[in-house]
Amino acid sequence: MQPVLETRNLSKSFYGIAAVTDVSISIQPGQILGLIGQNGAGKSTLMNLIGGVIQPDSGGMFLYGKPYQPANPAAANRHRIAFIHQELNLFTNMTIAENIFIQGFPTIRYGPFRFVDWAIVKEKTRAVLDEVGLKLSPDTVVDRISPGERQLVEIARALFMDAALIIFDEPTTSLTARETENLFTLMRRLREGGKSIIYISHILKDILHLADSVAIMRDGALVTQEEASAFDINRMISLMVGRTIDNLYPPRTSGPTTTPLMVLDGVSAAGLVENVSFTLHEGEVLGLFGLMGAGRTELARIIFGLDSLEQGHIEINGKRLARQNARDSIRSQLAFVTENRREEGLLMNINISDNTALVNLPHYGRSLLGSIDSGRMISDTQAIVNALQLKSGDIRVQTVKALSGGNQQKVVMAKWLLTQPRVFILDEPTRGIDVGAKYEIYSIIDQLAASGSGVLFISSELEELTGMCDRILVMSRGEIFGEFSRGNYDEESILRAAFHQEEVPAELAHPVEVSTP
């Protein structure tokens, strides 16, 4: 059969560094192609080439056998290729209908003037919203809808332009389990309707679930493209990494003590969390599991003093925390790695050194005027960055934006490590980063615990919690619904607690990622 799209020996380099080398892939009509690879493997560059965001240095692309050279994203759209980016490209100040039609509104002509025909805009918007199963008015302003709904609006836009090929770049990172499942159902339906889909994800299980064919990239080159049935998760990982990974998790080098470090007693805040009590011990890695929207992030924000607590109290080292803010928390040696490193964790356009020194900056002030001792600051940040094996150029020059996801996360960790925290709250620290970088993050967690700090490890990936934690607490609807100790981790019971005693639907057992080889 004639492939919808084919790339032949496609190459692209930036400033002499090859990002995509000699890649030839093809995708058939009515097929889902899963594209996987570590961060920096060249997946995004390849998709940007197909989507017309950048142009190749050599090689060619063929659409239904005809040469295809998109000069910009709009040209790609005209060729019926739609690209749904990881960070969604919607105009939050405008309505759903306007977002779908922004490239060109249907108009009515009055003499020399052309006015937007709002009646048609709304009618057609309603039609595509029905198609993606989104029950919202076309006049809803995008600002007011959830990430999952926004994604559906983007898909509706792709359907509206009658795309034959839709590229999804990590579409599930900000979706709830239910939204993810709806998305998958929709993708399957699109496939039945003859659309082709390229699906990029780090969640290998989803790839196996969905894809008809799988392409694996490593270091800018295509490792292989084969039928999905030819893969299992182990084989995918070893091809991505280029070697077999025996252990996804480092061995824990220490165990928890019985000395309480942080005690929560009856912590409540209306509408967010209810009567949460637990103790974090020195040297302990305490997992906090739950589905999206279970209240884990909300709890973390309350502990760190970003949101207020209405009842109960928190003690650290036996000292009760006064009603606090983030600055007091830092003084009490708390650290908080937020789930959203781009928006909340990093200053994207600032260099690595300044980012790393940010929280600890007061310590670099010289007496009196508080001018910064930049020599000490640079040497400290360089030392910690080296210790974490961060791959970068000159840390005084290179901006964080230019780093891969895994290295960005290391900068966030380094920033907090400089403050020598006793309690480390990590909210989804491995989200969107590749297998190798995850391992390094896990090793840092282990070292922290070994040095006597306590780690509160929040995650939606049950596997990594069972792999790393001494104990796991399960949250649901703002309450703690279960506690499991190492040695009797049972995935089904943990999930059951997360679903708050409901029967676990097999399809929804999605947060569990890669199964351990």
Binding site for another protein (CB under 8 A): 53, 72-74, 77, 85, 89-94, 98, 102-105, 107, 114-116, 143-144, 268, 270-272, 274-279, 293-295, 298, 477-483
Tokens of 73: 């994203």
Q: Which is nearer to another protein, 304 or 364 (CB)?
A: 304
Cα 80 to chain centroid, rounded: 27
Pairing of strands 273-281, 213-218: unpaired
Q: Which is nearer to another protein, 416 or 499 (CB)?
A: 499
Q: Which is nearer to another protein, 103 or 185 (CB)?
A: 103
Phi then psi dihedrals of residue 82, to 5 deg: -115, 145
Q: How far is the CB of 494 from another protein (least distance, A)?
A: 14
CA distances for 517 relative to 173, 244, 354, 441, 505, angstroms: 24, 10, 40, 19, 24
Q: How far is the CB of 51 from another protein (least distance, A)?
A: 9
- Helix pair angle (405-417, 374-387), 10° resolution: 120
Q: How far is the CB of 442 from another protein (least distance, A)?
A: 24
The DSSP call for residue 399 is B
Distance from C-alpha of 32 to C-alpha of 229, rounded to nearest angstrom = 13
Q: Which is nearer to another protein, 114 or 401 (CB)?
A: 114
- Sheet of 311-316: strand order equals 273-281, 260-269, 311-316, 319-320
Distance from C-alpha of 194 to C-alpha of 454, rounded to nearest angstrom = 52
Tokens of 9: 């020996």
DSSP bridge partners of 7: 61
Tokens of 152: 């559906």
Q: Which is nearer to another protein, 107 or 325 (CB)?
A: 107
Q: How far is the CB of 36 from another protein (least distance, A)?
A: 24
Q: Which is nearer to another protein, 141 or 321 (CB)?
A: 141
Q: How far is the CB of 449 from another protein (least distance, A)?
A: 17
Q: Which is nearer to another protein, 198 or 412 (CB)?
A: 198
Distance from C-alpha of 4 to C-alpha of 418, rounded to nearest angstrom = 52
Q: How far is the CB of 471 from another protein (least distance, A)?
A: 8
Closest CA to 75 of 85, 64, 83, 84: 83
- Residues near 141 by beta carbon (within 8 Å), at least 6 away in sequence: 92, 93, 94, 95
Q: How far is the CB of 77 from another protein (least distance, A)?
A: 6
Q: Which is nearer to another protein, 248 or 264 (CB)?
A: 264
Q: How far is the CB of 107 from another protein (least distance, A)?
A: 7
The one-letter amino acid code at 441 reads I
The answer to whether the CB of 467 falls within 8 A of the CB of 245 is no
The one-letter amino acid code at 225 reads Q
Q: How far is the CB of 427 from another protein (least distance, A)?
A: 15
Q: Which is nearer to another protein, 36 or 153 (CB)?
A: 153
What is the SS3 assignment for 229? helix
